[in-house]
Structure 1
């Protein structure tokens, strides 16, 4: 009989070359499509509306906030790239923690991921409704009533557009992964084109005076801005949730992660510079659909803002789509391990997708999106992402020590310096988040760990396999002594 400590820290074997855990999911995702998953779930999550939240905190120095968040995310993404090429399964950092730290720590990471994807999907859906209103007003001269477009704390009753967006994403995902990936790729290309259009028009309104009071809140404001902006890098993790549906994952996943990071960071910095050059930082606070409004002020006409609003309405759809996708794939992997109810692991034989799990996830995210304000959702997503990044960086170090001969599709350069810097950077940003954010996160994590002790520990597939193996060894030993 395994001791409590052995149960809590039992480690799942790392799949060797040519091995793959049993899965009914179909491998349909190639390098370009996987890169678009990373880009699609990231660009739009922040840049279309996070400036109205981060610029009032950091001023024009929010550019440095983007750089700091990008550097910390970059360090973590490099660690993700090594683990994705070493442990090429779905589940992202949950699976990596299970293979390195043990079952209980893996459940703690799962709490981070469930918070990260659930809240990110809700936050993006909330921002989407702002651009829907902007587009409707520009094209038809009317808006969705305030009561139906904002959460109660923002003076509304329910954010109805956010709920409708989530319902559409759910419909696509239950139809099949292949269709969803194609639509996501089209949306991502549209999104990048729209943002480049914003940059080109935005720089025509360049005013160097807008950068005069560059850091009005000092370095603390820059760091606080980084905490909010880090929410914009949640999409990097989405690549690592697709391990069971990716072709040649050991090579494809690391390449997609690094490519997505480079694309995302470049676009973020370009858009931030263009926006700040065209509008005084004091005017960003409370500005709905900010990028559209900036272009309208520069050109003196509605059409550029209409283009950006239309692009945002189309492309933010892809962020929500991938957020729900990532959440369902993590729950799928946990269900396969016995850590979550079986319904999350049920795969529809016709569509080869986890239909029941997708519907449950969508309903929960829709409740968040309909009734919770945007700024709180952004910080809750950031802390989930940051803690997951810490675990991934730690897992790289542990796996290098424990399994030095494991085949790796990519290896972190300057090891162990970069993983250690990633851990320090993430903890530094966490320390600057609001206290209420950290408290809610700790409560949420405690709830998930409590569920593990009540349900997961006894239903663990790995635990049952180990118990059966020990029982067979005991029978053989008994037989040998007779």
Structure 2
């Protein structure tokens, strides 16, 4: 079961034979990382975090950022050493074998597709809020909210998912260029928010700082973790990166550092806004209500009718804050910026999803049609369209908070696997060239693993159960379809293009490993 390890040399040969076009540099990678990271977490999930932890969400951002920082250091070594598509899936295949790699890839499917759906829902909330406040248009909830949010279908969220799918089919270079422009808009909007909100901060707004205790802070960190998953998507672009040995670590760590600073500043501006409350909304028994629940929505409506202004009740927390502190037009502009910029997050999530599918198909674990390349655009168009349909359906019918938590469960599993892999390969292949070495790996990687386990345990029970169900389905798919069709299992090693006329060579078994 664990003997099917794909040698690194074979992985690199496979990528060389059927590779994607290398067109991304360090700057584009950093922009892609910022585009994926800064988005839903700060624009949309700020209200969710406040409902769980109140002002204590400042600590939640730090906890989630630290876990990601340690995981990023592990990712940087693996991605610079194995500069091919597939991210955690590919690394696990090279180090821990096919079954673990399959489960990691299966978890990444859960991460990316569900995450793209969550961001689509967040985009819809900002755009609808902008239309209602700037143009005084009253749009019925039936068409802009899913059934869990009191509507029927979220058409704007479906629309943006379809638009991003089309953009990705056209090509990576075009997608990255558009994304860089959107990142500039997004960063400018957040900078303007900080300039306007931070000077009027009221320190009294930060008390009580942790109204739900450290448990609440931990639960908020588990949700906010969703805001950091973009750096993982950057590593899936390794096969399309020029000089990945140098550029991948820059893109990963650089984007994470920029984003963490923004998160803390913006969160402080939201919490400290005078006249607003970032404290959790509670039921009659004094218990904080679950974010995204119908009970919370009803309580928010009742409090709004009484004149209360709760950040936790807003689906556009940053624009709402600016409007309430005396900058209504700037608030509308920030809503416009979010509407323009959040698609860059959807783009990066779907980009990562299609590349995971692409490399799993290339290994024989998924149908070969998934790795077909468009003759004109040179992109994996078949799986891009399939992914786009799935994302649109998620966005149409599910609330943003639940989608984010479900996505986090898959993300945390993948991050922990990479952290384990970087330690294992230090032992099994110590002489291989490492353009970037994880500092103090025997301390860094265990901290990353422990952090992932902690945040996973802090997720809501529904998300943990759904992850377990998804994992069971993955086992059935692997043993029912993928295992018998795996190229490594069939003894096939992909070769370089110039050697394509040579018959496939069998995989030599590892010393002491069972022969499948």
**1:470: how far off?**
5.3
The residue number in structure 2 matching 1:477 is none
Please give the alpha-carbon distance, in whole angstroms, between the structure 2 residues aligned to 1:455 and 1:246.
32
Deviation for aligned residue 1:203: 1.5
CA distance in 2, matches of 1:167, 1:194: 25
Question: Take 1:398 and 1:444, find their aligned partners in 2: how far apart are those partners?
Answer: 26
Answer yes or no: is the 8 Å Cα contact 2:124–2:144 preserved in 1. Answer: yes
Residue 412 (structure 1) aligned with residue 438 (structure 2) = yes
1:390 to 416, 421, 444: 416
Task: State the shift of 1:243 in Å.
Answer: 1.5
Q: Is 1:280 the counterpart of 2:277 in the alignment?
A: yes
Confirm or deny: 8 A CA contact 2:144 2:154 kept in the other structure: yes
Could you tell me which residue of structure 1 aligns to residue 370 of structure 2?
Answer: 344
The residue number in structure 2 matching 1:243 is 238
Q: Please, which runs of 5 or more residues in structure 2 have no aligned partner?
A: 280-309, 494-503, 510-516
Q: CA deviation at 1:45?
A: 2.4
Relative to 1, partners in 2 of residues 1:121 and 1:471: Cα closer, same or farther, differing over 3 Å?
A: closer
Q: Return the structure number with greater helix share.
A: 1
Please name the residue that 2:448 is paired with.
Answer: 422
Aligned position for 1:158: 153
Q: Structure 1 residues 15 and 251 mapped into 2: Cα distance closer, same or farther (>3 Å)?
A: farther
TM-score in terms of structure 2 length: 0.88
Counterpart check, 1:92 vs 2:87: yes
Q: Is the 8 A contact 1:136 1:142 kept in 2?
A: yes
The 5 A counterparts of 1:191-202 are: 191-202=186-197
Q: Deviations over 1:344-365 (max 9, x none)?
A: 1000011000111111000011
Superimposed CA distance per residue, residues 162-200 of structure 1 (whole angstroms, 9 cap, x where no aligned partner):
000011101111111111010001101110110011111
Distance 1:149 1:316, change over 3 A: same
- Please name the residue that 1:265 is paired with: 260
1:171 aligns to what SS in structure 2? helix
Partner SS state of residue 317, structure 1 = helix
Q: 3-state SS of the aligned residue for 1:431?
A: helix
The 1:447–1:472 alpha-carbon spacing in structure 2 relative to 1, beyond 3 Å, is closer
Q: Could you tell me which residue of structure 1 aligns to residue 112 of structure 2? A: 117
Instruction: Choose which of 5, 17, 21 in structure 2 pairs with 1:11.
Output: 5
Residues 24 and 352 in structure 1, CA contact (< 8 A), matched pair in contact too:
no
Confirm or deny: 8 A CA contact 2:12 2:82 kept in the other structure.
Answer: no
Which segment drifts farther, 135-144 or 26-35?
Answer: 135-144
Quote how far apart the aligned CAs of 1:54 are.
0.8
Q: Name the counterpart of 2:304.
A: none
How much does 1:472 deviate? Answer: 11
Deviates more, 1:139-148 or 1:226-235: 139-148
Does 2:289 align with 1:292? no
Deviations 1:121-163 (A, max 9, x none): 0000001111111211233210432111111011100010000
Q: Is the 8 A contact 1:174 1:358 kept in 2?
A: yes
| Match among 115, 123, 126 for residue 121 of structure 2 | 126
4+ aligned runs moved over 3 Å, structure 1: 15-21, 466-473
Contact 1:135 1:309 in 2 (8 A): yes
- Indicate the residue corresponding to 1:479 in structure 2: none
Q: 2:382 aligns to what? A: 356
Deviation, structure 1 residue 280: 2.1
Q: Which residue of 1 aligns with 2:227?
A: 232
Residue 80 of structure 1 pairs with residue 106 of structure 2: no
Say which of 180, 183, 208 aligns to 2:178.
183
**3-state SS of paired residue (2:85):** coil
Whole-Å Cα distance in 1 between the matches of residues 35 and 506 of structure 2? 46
Displacement after TM superposition at 1:471 (Å): 10
Deviations 1:52-102 (A, max 9, x none): 111111010100000000000110011000101111110100001101110
Match of 1:439 in 2: 465
Write out aligned runs for 1:202-221 (5 A): 202-221=197-216
CA contact (8 A) 1:9 1:104 kept: no
Question: Matched residue of 2:57: which SS?
Answer: helix
Distance 1:18 1:323 in 2: 24
1:66 aligns with 2:93: no
RMSD: 1.7
1:92·1:241 contact (CA, 8 Å) conserved in 2? yes
Change (3 A) 1:380 1:472: closer
- Equivalents in 1 of 2:74, 2:132: separation in Å? 45
Residue 32 (structure 2) aligns with: 37
Deviation at 1:469, TM superposition (A): 4.5
Correspondent of 2:143 among 138, 144, 148? 148
Contact 1:15 1:87 (C-alpha < 8 Å) held by counterparts: no
Q: Which runs of 5+ in 1 are unaligned?
A: 474-482
Deviation of 1:206 (Å): 1.1
